């Protein structure tokens, strides 16, 4: 029985490596997706274009502009002479933010009532939100420093030591696991789940559909090969190829993006095997409803896109409407990405993430069982 299984697996390996499309999915997709999500997708606020309309042109307004220019988040692209010009540059997309400093800013500041207006390009809500928060933090920090300086001067003028009145509470935030808050640390581990889903589900569905296209599946059905041997022989090769790609992506993350795997590698392997129960099962199911490889690929993408959107890979699940959050509870990619991020970034083990591992395994067993039953019915 094992000899028959080994021969089916060998045949599947040979056919897969002969197919240029499948080789491209195996070799090119992991590298391409890892590099794209690691380098191109960056949620960090860096060098956002700002247009300034400084109508006051006072030392106080220049200090404000210097405080903004000293950060990495913004760069001044133009200084204009009117608020209308500044707002027009935002409309044309040449700046994401317009800073309008009215005439009399220095005078009003001395009286304690200075105002400056910020116009944000709300068509990109994520960037606008982060830019507005960053500008607010800069202004608050500057005002706090000035008030503290004025208070210290007043205390010294009255013969008092400012240190005696200093706050004993110091707020010092620390970011664990990702001190520089790099976006790549968030996205690259998620790419692992995305790539393994594509490889195992799509290749399984295409491989079995290919057998139907060329007529070899009917030939296998009249041989003494048992259904379970055929199912295992067709799915195990893609699971092994998925593990190879997983090792490659983990190495790529460490060498290029400086994201070493903090937890045990065996934990990733174990989580991947649980995850494969679902992806291989879905590939098996898709092959039973697809007549051609093109149909199998389209059906796989039909399943893949909602799984990615509802996995927390890009968008936080907590921000989704409650009914959608309930829907994510049956998405295995959600639990696999949570495990991968926990192991790679936080150094956790499967024992620490038992809840996600248990749900992942339960969904996997249900999917592979139902898919196998349907596949066996098609064979008989």
Tens of pLDDT along 78-135? 999 888 899 899 888 888 889 998 888 888 777 767 788 888 888 877 778 888 888 8
Counting residues of the chain whose pLDDT is more than 90, the rounded percentage is 29
- Which of helix, strand or coil describes residue 98? strand
CATH topology of domain 48-165: abc type-2 transporter like fold (3.40.1710)
Going 46 to 44 to 246 to 373, the CA torsion angle's sign is negative
The pair phi, psi for residue 229, each rounded to 5°, is -65, -40
Residue 162: partners with Cβ closer than 8 Å, 6 or more residues away: 151, 152, 155, 156
Q: Is 111 exposed, middle or buried (0-12, 13-18, 19+ CB in 10 A)?
A: exposed
User: Where are any strands of DSSP class E within the chain?
Assistant: 48-54, 74-79, 97-101, 117-120
Structural domain spans, the chain: 2-41+182-379, 48-165
Stated pTM of the model:
0.79
- Which of helix, strand or coil describes residue 96? coil
pLDDT digits (tens, 9 = 90+) for 122-179: 887 777 888 888 887 877 776 666 656 555 665 566 665 555 555 554 556 677 888 8
Higher pLDDT, 186 or 180: 186
pLDDT digits (tens, 9 = 90+) for 281-328: 999 999 888 888 889 989 998 999 999 999 998 888 988 999 999 999
Query: CA–CA separation, 162 vs 350, rounded Å?
Result: 53
Q: What is the pLDDT of residue 154?
A: 58
Residue 76's beta-bridge partner residues? 50
Q: In this structure, are residues 205 and 287 in contact, taking their beta carbons and an 8 Å threshold?
A: yes
């Amino acid at each position: 029985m094992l000899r028959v299984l080994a021969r089916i697996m060998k045949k599947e390996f040979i056919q897969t490596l002969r197919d240029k499309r499948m080789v491209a999915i195996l070799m090119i997709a992991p590298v391409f997706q890892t590099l794209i999500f690691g380098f191109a997708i960056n949620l960090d606020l860096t060098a956002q274009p700002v247009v300034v309309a400084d109508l006051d042109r006072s030392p106080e307004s220049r200090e404000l502009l210097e405080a903004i220019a000293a950060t990495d988040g913004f760069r001044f692209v133009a200084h204009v002479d009117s608020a209308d010009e500044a707002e027009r540059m935002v409309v044309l997309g040449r700046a994401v933010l317009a800073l309008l400093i009215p005439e009399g800013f220095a005078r009003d500041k001395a009286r304690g009532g200075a105002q400056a207006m910020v116009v944000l390009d709300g068509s990109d809500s994520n960037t606008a939100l982060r830019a507005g928060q960053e500008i607010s933090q800069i202004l608050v920090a500057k005002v706090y420093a000035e008030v503290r300086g004025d208070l210290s001067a007043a205390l010294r003028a009255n013969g008092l030591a400012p240190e005696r009145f200093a706050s004993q509470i110091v707020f010092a935030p620390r970011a664990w696991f990702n001190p520089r808050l790099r976006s790549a640390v968030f996205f690259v581990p998620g790419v692992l789940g995305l790539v393994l889903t594509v490889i195992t589900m799509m290749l399984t569905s295409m491989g079995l559909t290919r057998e139907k296209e060329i007529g070899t599946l009917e030939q296998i059905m009249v041989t003494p090969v048992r259904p379970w041997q055929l199912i295992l022989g067709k799915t195990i090769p893609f699971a092994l190829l998925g593990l190879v790609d997983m090792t490659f992506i983990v190495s790529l993350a460490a060498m290029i993006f400086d994201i070493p795997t903090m937890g045990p590698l065996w934990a990733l392997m174990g989580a991947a095997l649980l995850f494969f129960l679902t992806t291989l099962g879905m590939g098996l199911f898709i092959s039973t409803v697809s007549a051609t490889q093109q149909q199998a690929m389209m059906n796989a993408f039909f399943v893949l896109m909602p799984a990615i959107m509802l996995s927390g890979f890009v968008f936080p699940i907590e921000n989704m409407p409650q009914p959608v959050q309930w829907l994510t509870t049956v998405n295995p990619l959600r639990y696999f990405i949570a495990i991968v991020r926990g192991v790679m970034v936080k150094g956790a083990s499967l024992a620490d993430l038992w809840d996600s591992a248990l749900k992942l395994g339960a969904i996997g067993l249900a999917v592979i069982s139902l898919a196998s039953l349907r596949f066996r019915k098609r064979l008989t």
